[in-house]
Amino acid sequence: MANRLCIVLDFGGQYNQLIARRVRECGVYCEILSYTTPIEKIRELAPDGIIFTGGPNSVYDETSPHISAEIFSLGIPILGICYGCQLMAYTLGGEVESCEKSEYGKIEIQQTGGALFGGVPEKSIVWMSHTDFVSKLPEGFTVKAVSADCPCAAFECPEKKLYAVQFHPEVTHSEFGKQILHNFLYEVCGFTGDWVMDDFIESTVAKLREQIGDKKVVLGLSGGVDSSVAAGLLSRAVGKQLTCVFVDQGLMRKDEGDFVEDTFTRLFDMNFVRVNCKEQFLTALKGVTDPEEKRKIIGTEFYKVFWDKIREEADGGFFAQGTIYPDRIESGKGNESGNGSTATIKTHHNKVEMPKDISFDGVIEPLADLFKDEVRAVGEKLGIPHELVWRQPFPGPGLGVRILGEITEDKIKVLQEADAVFRDEIAKSGIESELKQFFAVLPDVRTVGVMGDHRTYEHLIAIRAITTDDFMTADWARIPYDVLARVSNRLCNEVEHVNRVVYDITSKPPGTVEWL
Ligand code: XMP
């Protein structure tokens, strides 16, 4: 079934991906295209709706993005947002001026009806961010909303199916923004909301097959959500043409390496290459206690092993990775898909260049336009196990940042066991979905205890659980006492060499999530 399509035409604004996300949340398939896309191409795609995004420019600036007036006569409904709204007015003969007073932030508007405002109260709050405004409408348009400083906060020409809003309906601060987008998509464009993640999977798989042809693809699989879902998609598209390289440095959680291997070899068609290199890491880390040095060593060793394996596997073809949209924002880059042979590799705290002597025909990032929750939805549809799809963030250096002091095989074992007990109790407690991250830490501390008749001198385990929206700030989770009590009991009884447990009650700031 051909998807009915909405096109988000990108004029360079900061919320473009968010618009696409909101459209998809409405159950409507959409793709983002540059404003430079030729009109013939748009005609060919025959979208059922087009949304012009915002952008930082002024329509009078010669270098700012413009578009041929022809687009307004295709008969396709168009919604212009912010710069897109000004561009629509300007291109069709209206006027745009600089505001006497820029509007920025939450602003009250008053609407006077029209298709966009069905179900929206007469007065509501929207998110504005503009220094230009539409001062005169093109012929045939009428104003449908105003704010104290903006006489054309929304306008329309229903005969031509053209609509525009000066504010940002895609931002959650716009109280009824979603309703307004929904109205445009359903009432104006006639979408019915039948697009689901199945359609994304189908169209992506088809595109991947076309792009990859009979070449090979190599993917670095970490066992995290993103690379796992990318692996699932690529496996569905090209099966055995895909090789996943999974480096197990011995610092993962209990049984995690086996679980990842088992999942991808049992459930998916692909070549799975696991590199076990715990010994190499332990040797490199011997005697090292400084946190930053540890991190550096783990990173360096990891990429040494990883690139060596990739080099072995590279045979022309493509290099794939599980970059998702927020990674692209963080690194300030656009989509690199298909950009020759060098790539910046996704890591949390640093960027890594692919060694010059490894070459691929291109880079594939099948999840580059998705947000985390969409990636998870795709993962579930692909049949990736719940444990992987809903995996909490786990740092690249693994348990290496959770063992203070020197990292030894014995300490890894104690921490893996302790962490597994803690996770098991949280899973049973029913509070797991309230926590964003929870784990055990092994401080380099032994304490005196008593067990039976004799004294012990064993490890202290710290447990950490946080709630957060964005990991930039976080609060310690108010885990019920009875859950803490069970965790403490089990840790001391079941995990060898543990005789004391503390709960970390530090928020971020001043603490960080991890201890190292
Ligand atoms: P912090 O400790 O910086 O953690 O408050 C914030 C989030 O980042 C994760 N984290 C890391 N992830 N490599 C990673 O891939 C690292 O070196 C690293 N350090 C922290 C941490 O688990 C939390 O989710």
| Cα 349 to ligand 1 centre (Å) | 8
Residue 212 region by backbone torsions, left for phi larger than 0, else alpha for psi between -120 and 50, else beta: alpha
- pLDDT value for 336: 33
Mutate to test the pocket of ligand 1, among 349, 372, 508 (most ligand atoms within 8 A of CB): 349
141 touches 157 (CB < 8 A): yes
In eight-state DSSP terms, residue 76 is: -
Burial of 388 (C-beta count, 10 Å sphere; 0-12/13-18/19+): buried
Catalytic residue among 130, 168, 182, 459: 168
Mutate to test the pocket of ligand 1, among 471, 476, 506, 516 (most ligand atoms within 8 A of CB): 471
Burial 84-122, CB ≥16 within 10 A → b, else e: bbbbbbbbbebebeeeeeebeeebebebeebbbbeebee
User: Can you tell me the distance from the alpha carbon of 301 to that of 294, in angstroms, rounded to the nearest whole number?
Assistant: 11
Mutate to test the pocket of ligand 1, among 346, 392, 401, 475 (most ligand atoms within 8 A of CB): 401
Q: Please tell me the residue having the least CA distance from ligand 1 atom 24.
A: 393
Q: Please tell me the residue having the least CA distance from ligand 1 atom 19.
A: 395
pLDDT in tens, the chain (516 residues): 445 899 999 998 888 888 998 998 999 988 889 999 999 999 999 999 999 999 988 998 888 999 999 999 999 999 999 999 999 999 999 999 988 888 899 999 999 999 999 999 999 999 999 889 999 999 999 999 999 999 999 999 999 999 999 999 999 899 999 999 999 999 999 999 988 888 889 999 999 999 999 999 999 999 999 999 999 999 999 999 999 999 999 999 999 999 999 999 999 999 999 999 999 999 999 999 999 999 999 999 999 999 999 999 887 899 999 999 777 755 544 433 332 223 444 444 445 688 989 989 999 999 988 888 889 999 999 999 998 999 999 999 999 999 999 999 999 999 999 999 999 999 999 999 999 999 999 999 999 999 888 999 999 999 999 999 878 889 999 999 999 999 999 999 999 999 999 999 999 999 999 999
Q: Which atom of ligand 1 is nearest to the CA of 396?
A: 15
Burial 283-315, CB ≥16 within 10 A → b, else e: ebbeebeebeebbebbbebbbebbbbbbeebbe
Q: Please tell me the residue having the least CA distance from ligand 1 atom 16.
A: 395
Check pocket membership of 513 for ligand 1, CB cut-off 6 A: yes
Q: Which atom of ligand 1 is nearest to the CA of 295?
A: 17
- What is the end-to-end Cα distance of the chain in Å, rounded? 51
State how beta strands 242-248 and 162-165 pair.
unpaired
φ and ψ of 466, to 5 deg: -130, 155
CA distances in angstroms from 167 to 83, 98, 152, 153, listed in the order given? 9, 16, 10, 7
Catalytic residue among 156, 170, 365, 425: 170
CA distances in angstroms from 514 to 18, 339, 393, 488, listed in the order given? 30, 35, 11, 20
Check pocket membership of 249 for ligand 1, CB cut-off 6 A: no
Mutate to test the pocket of ligand 1, among 392, 514, 515, 516 (most ligand atoms within 8 A of CB): 514
Whose CA is closest to 279, among 406, 162, 130, 409?
409
State how beta strands 142-147 and 95-111 pair.
antiparallel
State how beta strands 162-165 and 78-81 pair.
parallel
| Cα 515 to ligand 1 centre (Å) | 10
Active site residue 168: yes
Secondary structure class of 292 (helix, strand, coil): helix
Check pocket membership of 397 for ligand 1, CB cut-off 6 A: yes
Check pocket membership of 149 for ligand 1, CB cut-off 6 A: no
Active site residue 82: yes
Q: Please tell me the residue having the least CA distance from ligand 1 atom 14.
A: 395
| Cα 321 to ligand 1 centre (Å) | 20
86's CB contacts (< 8 A; 6+ apart) are: 59, 80, 96, 130, 132, 133, 134, 166
Active site residue 170: yes
Burial of 386 (C-beta count, 10 Å sphere; 0-12/13-18/19+): exposed
Q: Which atom of ligand 1 is nearest to the CA of 347?
A: 15
